Structure 1
Amino acid sequence: MQSSSELFPVALISAEIRGELTEDVYLLKPNNSPDNSVELALTRIGLRDRTGDYGEPVVLLHGSFSNRRFWCSPLGIGAGAHLARQGFDVWILEMRGHGLSPRNRDYTRNRVSQYVRYDLPAAAAFVQEQNGLAPHWVGHSLGGIVLAAALGGGYLDEASAASAALFGSQISRIYWPLKVPPVEWAGRLLLKGFEQVSGSRLKRGPEDEPIGLVKESLRWHGLFGRFGDSEKDWWAGLADVRVPLLAAAGAGDTQDPAWACRKLFEQFGSAHKEYHSLGKADGFSQDYGHVDMLVSKGAQKEVWPLLAAWLMRAGKA
């Protein structure tokens, strides 16, 4: 089968029509990481009766235990579908082993540091090849953390990111027991017998997460931990980021509290940035939680339009 890209092998594995929307799924094989078995599913959402160009591209990143359906349901409902109807060229990246992205050979060792070093740059290159423009990026929860890490590490920059939007994303919440070395060591020892964490068993979502990602998080939150890898301090690098930034936190979010999301927002050096607390005190109809800030009837009326308006302004910045 002929590749859909001149960059690396890409196969169109699905092309569906969902009402007035189209849903095309591409499987990318970038061959840019030590694990050459990695393949990434990238879904493009567009208007069925589209005329002219595709509009400005937007790449959406799901959170932990999730997949592309967080952004666009099979019935064409979701923030991603809304953006497509507003004229954006919408792409949804599924992380290694999530959704239609098959589990790679070293799945259990997958980490954010690999996502940001290899996977996001590959997706950025393919979207730019197909559309011609640098994409906007939107991440929820872990997706936002991955996006922040990619920007702080310099793996995405102004040439590959027109703007960034973070929803319910933070890295500053302190887990005091993990600051005690014996507790962290015991946690790592306990995790040695596991290959993955089940989202369905924990009632957190439809997907599993590799144990490598959990161990990486333990290191971030340890006594001398930092948001970064052995080579780069992503947190420090955020001060040098210049892409326009939107950050939103749920006033009722107990998982990733607003104060911690605000701290991540403030670390960015972007001159053009906005922060929104999604709650009654700031004019919203409710105090949004971690998921319903983007998946709820309230979000459909209040948050999706806020995101679309931001992307339109960022595209002109």
Structure 2
Amino acid sequence: MDAVRWTLWGLVAVLALVGVNVLWVLGVRWWYRLRTTPPERLKVRCPDGWELTVHERRAPHRRFAEPVLLCHGLAANRCTFDFEPPYSIAHYLAEAGFDCFSVEWRGISYSERPPKGRRWPDVTVDELISQDGPALIERVLARTGAKRAFWVGHSLGGLVGYAVAQGPAGTKLAGLLALGSPVFFPPDALLRRLIHMGARLSWPWGFRNEWLSQTLAPFLGHVTLPLSDVIINPKHILPPIQRKVYANMMSSMSSNVLRQFQDWIDHDAFRSFDGSVDWRAGLAKLSLPVMVMGGSSDRLASSKNLRAQYELVGSTDKMLHIFGCDRGDKMDYGHGDLLFGTGAPFEVYPEIRDWLAAHATALPALPSGPTSG
């Protein structure tokens, strides 16, 4: 009887802790919610039946014909780009005259629900490239009436863009900007251990890390999490912004995507899940305008990595920009600082805007209203 009693008490304690954690996370989501006008949500159906959501933020005064697709990276969502000003590229570019569409890949947030007979843990990067990317391009072109669109991708979002540009949908892109995208995967023992651990923990239902991120979010800025310097330069992101980012931006990772990253890191490759398509080799065939951007202290996409991919890109219209103290910037940029660093709104965002504007089709200026005599 004592054993049964202690087992019951243990079960009650576990359920109580779970209940407290649920209330804690719900409170964190509410307290750290984004206090800005939300973008409009549009549905996008892929050829294989998966329904995506893209978040539209239109320009108050549209100055350029081409819309901008803003594509997030691994373990993130649309808040990568559509956050609270001044740390929001979507707001910044919309004010500059671009219609902006922040993507959420299949299995992420509002694009989470799979069609019948499909499982989210089975999703690979291949499907983001063959299904999601082309469908999203078609949707924003139909929405805006434009002939081509710009692709701006952070980390994995840039890699997907590189691969999409190599396929039929590439002709519908006016330019591609890859921000902190690691085309090369040289040996890094720490990153390899982290990806291997994530791949093991993701079986069989994927690695659902957003709950953990939301649980820990209120402590960030007061304490520094182990290994956080792999993702960001903690000194470059204000503590309140760190807390809000972890409460809103982090998302789950599918088992197969993590397995694919494991393959890339183990073999220094950027290729399809079955190894039959080498997207890195395909960069030499690109002809659209390309901007390669990154941070000087980014552990995932190092300066050496960025220079190597820049040299590999075949386009004659290409640029390389590495942010850091060496070029007079406020601080050396890590992976996430490119978006949320204190210097990002006046060092990174203007460079993105200016490159897009230089390659965009300007629309006729709106006629001014009548003047009083």
Q: Check conservation: 1:135, 1:163, Cα contact below 8 A.
A: yes
Superposition TM-score, scaled by structure 1 size: 0.81
Match of 1:313 among 343, 352, 358: 358
Match of 1:168 among 180, 189, 201: 180
Q: Does 1:248 align with 2:293?
A: yes
Segment of structure 1 superposing worse, 289-298 or 87-96: 289-298
Aligned-partner SS, 1:28: strand
Residue number in structure 1 paired with 2:72: 62
| Per-residue CA distance 1:102-153 (angstroms, 9 max, x = gap) | 231320011111100011000111111122231000000111111112224x
> Bigger radius of gyration, 1 or 2?
2
Residue number in structure 2 paired with 1:227: 271
Percent identity reads 26
Q: Check conservation: 1:116, 1:155, Cα contact below 8 A.
A: no
Q: Check conservation: 2:199, 2:258, Cα contact below 8 A.
A: no
CA 1:235 to 1:228, structure 2 compared with 1: closer, same or farther past 3 Å? farther
- Measure the CA separation in 2 of the matches of 1:155 and 1:46: 27
Q: Does 1:151 align with 2:141?
A: no
Aligned-partner SS, 1:276: strand
Shift of residue 22 of structure 1?
Answer: 7.0
Shift of residue 313 of structure 1?
Answer: 0.9
- Measure the CA separation in 2 of the matches of 1:85 and 1:257: 31
Match of 1:134 among 130, 148, 162: 148
Aligned Cα RMSD in Å?
2.9
Q: Check conservation: 1:43, 1:92, Cα contact below 8 A.
A: yes
- Measure the CA separation in 1 of the matches of 2:209 and 2:280: 28
- Measure the CA separation in 2 of the matches of 1:26 and 1:63: 20
Shift of residue 223 of structure 1?
Answer: 4.3
- The runs of 5 or more residues in structure 2 that have no matched partner are 1-34, 217-230, 232-245, 363-373
CA 1:192 to 1:59, structure 2 compared with 1: closer, same or farther past 3 Å? closer
Normalized per residue, the structure richer in strand is 1
1:1-317 equivalence runs, <5 A: 23-30=39-46, 32-33=47-48, 36=49, 38-48=50-60, 50=61, 55-73=65-83, 77-104=87-114, 105-131=118-144, 132-152=146-166, 154-157=167-170, 159-175=171-187, 190=200, 193-200=203-210, 201=212, 206-223=250-267, 226-230=270-274, 231-315=276-360
- Measure the CA separation in 2 of the matches of 1:59 and 1:194: 32
- Measure the CA separation in 1 of the matches of 2:351 and 2:288: 18
Shift of residue 54 of structure 1?
Answer: 6.8
| Per-residue CA distance 1:69-125 (angstroms, 9 max, x = gap) | 111126685011100000001111101121211231320011111100011000111
Shift of residue 265 of structure 1?
Answer: 2.3
- Measure the CA separation in 2 of the matches of 1:161 and 1:311: 12
Normalized per residue, the structure richer in helix is 2
Aligned-partner SS, 2:39: strand
Segment of structure 1 superposing worse, 258-267 or 63-72: 258-267
- The runs of 5 or more residues in structure 1 that have no matched partner are 1-17
Q: Check conservation: 1:61, 1:94, Cα contact below 8 A.
A: yes
Q: Which amino acid aligns with 2:205?
A: E
CA 1:276 to 1:195, structure 2 compared with 1: closer, same or farther past 3 Å? same
| Per-residue CA distance 1:229-269 (angstroms, 9 max, x = gap) | 54422112111111101111101212321211222222211
Q: Which amino acid aligns with 1:160?
A: K
- Measure the CA separation in 2 of the matches of 1:103 and 1:234: 28
Segment of structure 1 superposing worse, 263-272 or 223-232: 223-232
Q: Check conservation: 1:171, 1:227, Cα contact below 8 A.
A: no
Q: Which amino acid aligns with 1:297?
A: T
- Measure the CA separation in 2 of the matches of 1:280 and 1:176: 24
- Measure the CA separation in 2 of the matches of 1:121 and 1:297: 34
Runs of 4+ in 1 over 6 A off after TM superposition: 186-189
- Measure the CA separation in 1 of the matches of 2:199 and 2:175: 40
Q: Check conservation: 1:55, 1:87, Cα contact below 8 A.
A: no
- Measure the CA separation in 2 of the matches of 1:276 and 1:140: 14
Shift of residue 209 of structure 1?
Answer: 0.5
CA 1:290 to 1:27, structure 2 compared with 1: closer, same or farther past 3 Å? same
Shift of residue 220 of structure 1?
Answer: 2.5
Q: Which has the higher contact order (CA 8 A, sep 6+)?
A: 2
Shift of residue 68 of structure 1?
Answer: 0.9
CA 1:29 to 1:189, structure 2 compared with 1: closer, same or farther past 3 Å? closer
Superposition TM-score, scaled by structure 2 size: 0.69
